[in-house]
Structure 1
Amino acid sequence: MKGIQHTLLSYAAAAVFLLALWWAIALLLALPIVPTPDKVLVRLAHIFSRDIFAHAAWSLWRIAAGLGLAVCVGYPLGVLMGYFRRADRYLSPVVYLTYPIPKIALLPILMLLAGVGELSKILMIFLIIVFQVIVAVRDAIRTLPEERYAPLYSLGASFAQVFRFVILPASLPKFITAVRVAMATAVSVLFFTETFGTQYGMGYYIMDAWLRVNYLEMYAGILVLSAMGLLLFGLIDVFERAACRWQRK
């Protein structure tokens, strides 16, 4: 409980510091394109439930769908490559050849194949996360010495039991770290993809406010997007605390 309170206090202190810095910059510049945070927060309170909430919900749905698909595909592939050397020998060249490709460069291809609707946006999130999941899980499992498995198999353990008690605990920390690192990139790319072929999403909302020269709503959208990122990272931390209890000091 004390750890949670300390974390919340640290986040609150960081938020106060950033708001104070924003306020100082706005007062120093005295330009309409940089409003003070109090005006933005008041505007956000007026339009959140009426307008921004729907855009935030659509963005969160796309991230959740892309993340879920990446986990369902990437984690089993990572286990397969990490545990079975032959599978790693055949699959690693494919991963290494496709992983370095900038995923945003594939957006036109995805839009041509999957359309400009939801599928192309979800697939873009999927492509950003899945490779990091595969590599992280594979590397975590490959660090385990083979002697770790031999006693279990000699006692009659099945692969399912070895996976549950050895492979899963060994791979979870790096898997969670990979998702955490990829999440920031996924949110950034989602912002870009939401400017095409949709009328819902935080990317669309922020760009629409900018084109309408409505800076208060533009900054309100940026605040909500930042809060979404904080929410996602917080959920990942909660999952890590629950799933990796042995790492607590």
Structure 2
Amino acid sequence: MKIKIANSLIGILGLLLIWELLYLFISSPVIPAPLATCVLFFEKIPELIPHTLMSLYRIVVAILVSLLIGIPLGIFIGANQLADKWLSPILYYIYPIPKVAFLPVFMILYGLGDLSKITLVIWIIIFQIILSARDGVKQMDPNWEKIMFSFQARPFMRFKHLLLPAISPHIISGLRIAIGISLASLFFAENYATTYGLGYYIMNAWSVIDYPDMFCGILALAFLGFFLFKLTDLLGKRLIK
């Protein structure tokens, strides 16, 4: 536990050192002084909390829906050769498309509220979850499945003791990638038709040329990502023995 805390502190100090060097060498008001900005960040916490909670809500809902849909679909594609033959090529065509371009479509279909933004994030990350689950099933040793059949294991037991342990490392890796992508896509989505969210907060500060306040929003976004990554690590320890 102490080692993990020390590693986190080293990461924060390293980030502050890089920030300080950029501040000294670039010498531009666009990059404010790190220590002064950190002091301002703590003063702005009451103002930042509602924006952070709104962004967290949108990301968590999008990730949960993506997991609930993506994992079963990925398992189905990985376990069924016919489904893999017909559906995998479709995934390969859709996955590389820059899906943020669909935000206007979702805003027309679902309005200007949270639903359109959450739907965009789901549309962006669900393919990562599907492919991660599919690859986990396809890389599983076929002999394990034969052993389960020979013991006449029920479907739930096969899922609990075979499929879930086999796909868990792939799901956790995919989830880490999905978190980074979801933060980037949510930042884009929160620039439109909203008054809450870290994306809105950062761009609003930029529009009034308040760079220290803008960096406070960036720091809040970084801490949000750090929190989600740590949560993913805890989940991985529970699932991956």
TM-score, normalised to structure 1's length? Answer: 0.92
Structure 2 portions without partners, runs of 5+: none
2:8 paired with 1:11:
yes
Which one of 59, 66, 82 corresponds to residue 63 of structure 1?
59
Partner residue of 1:47? 44
Distance across 2 between alignment mates of 1:28 and 1:38? 16
Which amino acid in the other structure matches residue 12 of structure 1?
L
The answer to which of 75-84 and 22-31 deviates more is 22-31
Deviation at 1:147, TM superposition (A): 2.3
Number of equivalences: 241
Partner residue of 1:155? 151
Which amino acid in the other structure matches residue 17 of structure 1?
G
Distance across 1 between alignment mates of 2:17 and 2:171? 36
Instruction: Give the 5 Å matches for 1:1-249.
Output: 4-49=1-46, 51-245=47-241
Distance across 1 between alignment mates of 2:202 and 2:186? 12
- Dislocated runs of 4+, deviation >4 Å: none
The answer to which of 13-22 and 132-141 deviates more is 13-22
Which amino acid in the other structure matches residue 214 of structure 1?
D
Structure 1 portions without partners, runs of 5+: none
Distance across 1 between alignment mates of 2:127 and 2:18? 37
Identity rate, percent: 34
| Cα shift readout 1:8-64 (whole Å, capped 9, x = no counterpart) | 212211211221232233234443332211111121111211x11000000000000
Distance across 2 between alignment mates of 1:149 and 1:166? 8
Distance across 2 between alignment mates of 1:147 and 1:25? 55
SS of the residue corresponding to residue 44 of structure 2 reads: helix
TM-score, normalised to structure 2's length? Answer: 0.94
Which amino acid in the other structure matches residue 171 of structure 1?
I
Which amino acid in the other structure matches residue 166 of structure 1?
L
Q: CA RMSD for the aligned pairs?
A: 1.5
